[in-house]
Every structure is written in structure tokens, then in C-alpha cells.
């Protein structure tokens, strides 16, 4: 007799409401990165820049909470040299080299210093832009100016409005003495390339670039280094039985892929973390290649939140290396799509092969 399992409300039927207080309270590392540290990051000896990045971040930690040495505005237009106490540090590297691990380690290490009045924020780029939308720009500056460290993960500028917004926000926070740290797959001076008319916003992009000391993190995708190929998708008729057999003691959610995609267009990406509340396993039925860019970008955010929360994935349909079109995988957003495929593949290995999703 086929196994059955009681499943939770599908994601496609959830409409999470997030208050301003929830947004502020959520500005901390996710479950996956709640206890990481510089010591738990294992640098690849074949890529010395990884060990160098750890040391650079350890040094940067010591500057958090110190009084700023003059206004950043005076430094922005006075040349490209970076003083020892630069306002920000920026981890640039490909997907799967551990940048988020390092950023979360910085967040935790700053808290361990015990500096009086310690206040820190850790969030994704989209969470900060949504915070501005919920609070207003001026109120966001007032709130975050009282923080000693603001960490921005997955820094990607997808449109001109975000470029201007984040340029102003980070400039004002830096002038208030807030230390900034960010990760991205793109050098700050190249943000926006291939996505919008970046040439029209060179000044704003340069202001962003000038606020950070860039630390390169080279390496291979550690999530799949030395591992076998991802397991093939299951048959559509078998996914729920598989979940019942392997995850009877966990919270399982079953979603039709098409229904979920339609629902994602109605939920702001900043709420995707709450969309996954109390979900241990996501069963996705009949996965198809996404052909619409707007939906693809939303699914990237969902993939990031699934990975953050360490949600195991069991799926039928096309394999995740075919989730996005060939044009998307080689276009202006290619680094986002490659990161999503890497993370989803790790979660499928965890769900269908029992491997720990690194």
C-alpha cells in the first residue's frame, strides 16, 4: 500500500503579512548561517584568496564600533585610495565560494566584541529596499544610522531606481559612522552592467564603489566540489510517496510548480522568507523551464530563501539545471541564475539522496 503523509498548506496558498517590526527583527542571519564563524570556514588551499579574505574580515571586525575618522563625503571625491578604516568591505567572487558564510561570520564576530550599544543588521539587498518602501527613505536612514554594522548579502542592482536609492542610503549611513559589508558576484563598479542603462548612472555607481574596500574571493563552487551529478527528477506520481517514506516526521509542503510560479507574482520577494515558515521539505511537482525573466528573478529569490532555511527539495519534471533558458544562463543576470541552480541542486541532493546541503 502506498505511503501517505499529512502535508502543510502549500506555498501557493500562503499570503504572509510582514510588519515593519518583523522586517527589522528579521535583519539577522538565517537558520543556515545562525552559528557560523571564521573558524568554521574552511579555505580551499588551492585558492589563497579565501584565507586572505578571512584575515581581511577579521581585521575589519576590529574597526566596528570605532568612531569614524571624518566624513566619508570628503573621501569620496578625493581619489580612489582606501584608508585603513574604510567604511565598507565588499566580498566579490563567484557563487559557491562561501561569501555568505563569511559575511555572517563577520556579523557574529562583531557581536562577540561586546562593544557598548551593539546593533547590527544582516539582510539581503531586496530586504533593505523593501525596508525603505515600508519606512520611507529618511526613516530608514534614521533607524539604520544607530547601527554599528549593516551587512548586505547578494548585492545586485537590477534597475536604475535601486542604484540611486542604495547609493544615497549607503552614503548617508557611512557618513553616520556605520560600517558596511556586502557580498556580490559583481565588482561594485560593474553593478548594473547588461541590465539597464548603467552609463546614465555612473556617478551613483561610482559612489557605491568608492565606499567599499573590495576583497576578492576566488574558488570553485564548494556545494558541488567532488560530488556526483544531481539525482534525476522523480516521476510526478512518485514524489509524494517518496516524501511520505522519507520525511514522515517533518513538515512537508506539496506544490504544483505552475501554481507556485503564478502565486510568486502576487507576493513581494521580501516576504518569501515568511512564505517558508515551518517548512522542512518542499515537494515540487512538474517543474518546467521558466521563460519569463520577471518570474525567473522571483524564483531566484525563492531559491535563496529555500537555501537559507535549509529546506530539502523533492521534485519531478525537468532537472534544475534546465530551470532557466540558455539565454538567461548567459545573459545579464547569469550569475544570479547560476547561483540559484547551484543552491537548488544542493537542496535536491539533500532531499532525494540524503546528503547534507552544504
> What angle in degrees, to the nearest 10, is found between the helix axes of 293-308 and 334-353?
50
Q: Which three cell numbers stand for residue 276?
A: 517558508
Contact 348, 315 (CB under 8 A): yes
Residue 72 — pLDDT band, cuts 50, 70, 90?
very low
Q: What pLDDT, in 10s, does the model give residues 36-70?
A: 999 999 999 999 999 999 999 999 999 998 655 54
How many C-beta atoms surround the C-beta of residue 84 within 10 A?
9
Determine the Cα–Cα distance for residues 200 and 185; give it in Å rounded to an integer: 22
Give the mean model confidence (pLDDT) for residues 72-79.
42
DSSP string, 138-176: HHHHHHHTT-SEEEEES----SHHHHHHHHHHHHHHHHT
Q: Which domains does the chain have, with CATH numbers?
A: 11-17+224-353 (3.40.50), 45-216 (3.40.50.300)
3-state secondary structure string, 276-336? CCCCCEEEEEEECCECCHHHHHHHHHHHHHHHHCCCEEEEEECCHHHCECHHHHCCCCHHH
Full-model pTM: 0.78
| pLDDT at 95 > cutoff 80 | no
- Region class of 255: left (phi > 0), else alpha (psi between -120 and 50), else beta: beta
| pLDDT at 148 > cutoff 90 | yes
Model pLDDT, residue 193: 45
With residue 193 as reference, give the H or E element that holds it: none
Q: What pLDDT, in 10s, does the model give residues 183-209?
A: 876 545 454 444 434 444 455 556 666
Amino acid at each position: 500500500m502506498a505511503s501517505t503523509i499529512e502535508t502543510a498548506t502549500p506555498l501557493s496558498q500562503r499570503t504572509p503579512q510582514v510588519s515593519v517590526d518583523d522586517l527589522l527583527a528579521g535583519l539577522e542571519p538565517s537558520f543556515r548561517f545562525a552559528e557560523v564563524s571564521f573558524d568554521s570556514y574552511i579555505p580551499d588551499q588551492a585558492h589563497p584568496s579565501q584565507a586572505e579574505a578571512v584575515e581581511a574580515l577579521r581585521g575589519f571586525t576590529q574597526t566596528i564600533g570605532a568612531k569614524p575618522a571624518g566624513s566619508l563625503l570628503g573621501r569620496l571625491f578625493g581619489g580612489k585610495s582606501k584608508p585603513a578604516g574604510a567604511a565598507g568591505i565588499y566580498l566579490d567572487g563567484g557563487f559557491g565560494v562561501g561569501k555568505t558564510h563569511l559575511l555572517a561570520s563577520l556579523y557574529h564576530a562583531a557581536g562577540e566584541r561586546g562593544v557598548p550599544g551593539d546593533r547590527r543588521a544582516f539582510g539581503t539587498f531586496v530586504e533593505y529596499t523593501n525596508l525603505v518602501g515600508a519606512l520611507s527613505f529618511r526613516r530608514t536612514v534614521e533607524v539604520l544610522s544607530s547601527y554599528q554594522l549593516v551587512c548586505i548579502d547578494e548585492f545586485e542592482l537590477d534597475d536604475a531606481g535601486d542604484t540611486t536609492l542604495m547609493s544615497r542610503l549607503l552614503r548617508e549611513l557611512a557618513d553616520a559612522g556605520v560600517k558596511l559589508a556586502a557580498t556580490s558576484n559583481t565588482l561594485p563598479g560593474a553593478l548594473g552592467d547588461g541590465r539597464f542603462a548603467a552609463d546614465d548612472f555612473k556617478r551613483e555607481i561610482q559612489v557605491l564603489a568608492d565606499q567599499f574596500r573590495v576583497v576578492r574571493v576566488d574558488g570553485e563552487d564548494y556545494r558541488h566540489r567532488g560530488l556526483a551529478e544531481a539525482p534525476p527528477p522523480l516521476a510526478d506520481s512518485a514524489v509524494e510517496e517518496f516524501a511520505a517514506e522519507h520525511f514522515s516526521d517533518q513538515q512537508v509542503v506539496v506544490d504544483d510548480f505552475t501554481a507556485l510560479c503564478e502565486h510568486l507574482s502576487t507576493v513581494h520577494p521580501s516576504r518569501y522568507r515568511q512564505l517558508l515558515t515551518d517548512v522542512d521539505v518542499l515537494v515540487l511537482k512538474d517543474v518546467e523551464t521558466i521563460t519569463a525573466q520577471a518570474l525567473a528573478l522571483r524564483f531566484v529569490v525563492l531559491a535563496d530563501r529555500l537555501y537559507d532555511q535549509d529546506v530539502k527539495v523533492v521534485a519531478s519534471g525537468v532537472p534544475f539545471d534546465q530551470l532557466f533558458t540558455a539565454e538567461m544562463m548567459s545573459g545579464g543576470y547569469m550569475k544570479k541564475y547560476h547561483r540559484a541552480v547551484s543552491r537548488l541542486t544542493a537542496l535536491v541532493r539533500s532531499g532525494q539522496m540524503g546528503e547534507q546541503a552544504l
